[in-house]
Amino acid sequence: MARLLVIESSARQHGSVSRQLTERFLTRWRAAHPDDRICRRDLGAEPVPHLDIALLNAWTQPAASHGPAECAALQRADQLVHELLAADVLVLAAPMYNFTIPSTLKAWFDHVLRAGVTFRYSENGPQGLLHGKRAFVVTARGGIYSGGIQDHQEPYLRQLLAFMGIHDVTFIHAEGLNLGSEFMAKGLEAAEQRIAHLI
């Protein structure tokens, strides 16, 4: 039995392609792995605050000096890290906003990229501490960017995940969604076929 952590980050609750594809992914996953447990966090519905001084102080200052803001920030970050540590499989739903990821997803990473917990610094440089996990990333893109110089999304997410030790990363792209009905249909079909092939 595996544990999945699903992170939704689309600002849209309705009409979101990344959410639609995530549901297709999970439907197939449940059919293939009925005993697996799924934990979901919706950053669109409940955004994680951006990294602020309260969280920085909570990480760097003695616990005795923490006020209510620091305690609340640390409790929130601890919960997000706990969800990630407990997961065997991470599923990120990431629409492309301005060539990269939603700021809500960036804020989530800012909370879980935590020295001494998900990575550490050594004499050989940073080392990821999350071993044995795999990740699937479902993207929705208005244009076609895969392999191009304007795709700052996939390389960035690969770097963030690898920094924590997650190297088994599979991307599922739905591209060309704003280029007309024909491109949209092809982009959705390609993504759905990839999901069917992977699971």
d(CA 34, CA 27): 10
d(CA 26, CA 36): 11
Residue 170, burial from CB neighbour count under 10 angstroms (0-12, 13-18, 19+): exposed
* Residue 124 annotated as part of some ligand binding site: no
Please provide the size of the chain in residues. 199
CB 115 within 8 A of CB 163: no
* Residue 156 annotated as part of some ligand binding site: no
Q: Which two tokens stand for residue 110?
A: 């800012």
* Residue 10 annotated as part of some ligand binding site: yes
* Residue 16 annotated as part of some ligand binding site: yes
* Residue 1 annotated as part of some ligand binding site: no
* Residue 138 annotated as part of some ligand binding site: no
Q: Which two tokens stand for residue 125?
A: 């440089």
Q: Compute and round to an integer the Cα radius of gyration of the chain.
A: 18
Q: Of 165, 157, 161, 160, give the one whose Cα is nearest residue 131.
A: 165
d(CA 103, CA 59): 21
Alpha-carbon dihedral sign for residues 38, 28, 158, 13:
negative
* Residue 98 annotated as part of some ligand binding site: yes
Q: Which two tokens stand for residue 89?
A: 């499989």
* Residue 164 annotated as part of some ligand binding site: no
- Binding positions for FMN are 10, 16-18, 96-99
- Binding positions are 10, 16-18, 96-99
